[in-house]
Structure 1
Amino acid sequence: MSFQRTRMSTDRTLMSIMRTSVSLISFGFTIAQFFERLRANKVIAEGSGAARHFGLAMVGLGVVMLLLGISYHLYYMHTLRLERDAMTREGLIHGASPYPVSLTLLVSLALLGIGIFAVVSVVSDIGPLH
């Protein structure tokens, strides 16, 4: 049971990273798009790109944070599986229950794709998000 609790704890950690990443990505994208619309409607001067760069930096930070969180999650789960297999071979635990891929990991990979798409959209001014 302790392996299952540890696995759930790892999933909760990834979910908290996802929550922070979603906040950074959505807030940064909103800032970039809001000021781009103001510039397009001639409400603000054409030369200023500071808000766009700030928004892009926030989106990029969210994507990098999510990428690092996914990498850490994969590394930790691999280590946990190796430890569980070793303990099963030694007869210390039963270890018959499967260790499936985490749904949290799949959702975070989808979010990573959306974040990368948002970066491309802000940088290149293309796509349905622009």
Structure 2
Amino acid sequence: MTETSEPTAGAPKRPKRIRLPRIPEVPEVQGKKSDEASIQLSQYRSKLSTFRTGLSEHRTDLSEFRTDLSQHRTDLSDHRTEMSMRRTGMSFQRTRMSADRTLMSEMRTSLSLIGFGFTIYQTFQKLHQAGVILQSQAPRNFGLALIVLGVLLLVGGIVRHLQYVSELRGMRHLMAQDGLVHAETRFPISVTLIVAVLLIALGVAAFMGIVFDFALFR
């Protein structure tokens, strides 16, 4: 049967098939002299011995081929293990970036709450100053509540983020000690976390500006 694909690079070559000679026929010694019959039988035994030697050499070649295949499979297994370790190491980085994206989502929600709270306060404060409405305490309190909710949401998100990343670092360190991952790349400084802290400061400043009525954002 003709093979349609070439052997894989680096794979050991299979020993060529050998054509086994036909088994020598048993000589007919009936009616012959004992010396002549003994010679013919001795020659027959020699041919059988040569035949067995050829079979033994072929079995040896097949055994060496099986050994080479076993070593090749071992090398492939080591390669797959190496690739698996690198994929696992990269998965830690993907998980870290996923945690950053989660924190960014919480930042967007927090920014919306803080922005709405401050906008509501400013809108009704200007209407009160223009004499359109008599009092603006209820909108002021509602705006403060939204700002507080935004700040608390972001504080909780930062605490959760720090706890999760700390556990992720610890797990990665333990797996690196056990030789399961390489852990060659370091976790970079999270710019998202820095911006989240600054956003908390902004929310606190907005809250203090409304409570003590100083012109921080005017």
TM-score of the pair, normalised by structure 1: 0.95
Tell me the residue number matched to 2:124: 35
Q: Note if 1:123 corresponds to 2:211.
A: yes
The offset of 1:127, in angstroms, is 3.4
TM-score of the pair, normalised by structure 2: 0.58
Write out aligned runs for 1:65-76 (5 A). Answer: 65-76=153-164
Q: Could you give the per-residue CA deviations for residues 72-95 of structure 1, whole angstroms, max 9, x where no partner exists?
A: 001100110011111111111000
Backbone CA RMSD of aligned residues: 1.0
Q: Note if 1:79 corresponds to 2:146.
A: no
Write out aligned runs for 1:14-29 (5 A). Answer: 14-29=103-118
Tell me the residue number matched to 2:196: 108
Residue of structure 1 aligned with 2:187, choices 94, 99, 122: 99
In the alignment, residue 117 of structure 2 is paired with which amino acid? G
> Stretches of 4+ moved more than 6 A in 1?
none
SS at match of 2:111: helix
SS at match of 2:148: helix
Tell me the residue number matched to 2:97: 8
RCO greater where, 1 or 2, for CA within 8 Å and sep 6 or more? 1
Q: Give 5+ residue unaligned stretches, structure 1.
A: none
Count of matched residue pairs: 129
Tell me the residue number matched to 2:147: 59
* Higher CA-based Rg: 2
Q: Note if 1:44 corresponds to 2:127.
A: no
SS at match of 2:128: helix
Q: Give 5+ residue unaligned stretches, structure 2.
A: 1-89
In the alignment, residue 36 of structure 1 is paired with which amino acid? Q
In the alignment, residue 208 of structure 2 is paired with which amino acid? V
Q: Percent identity?
A: 50
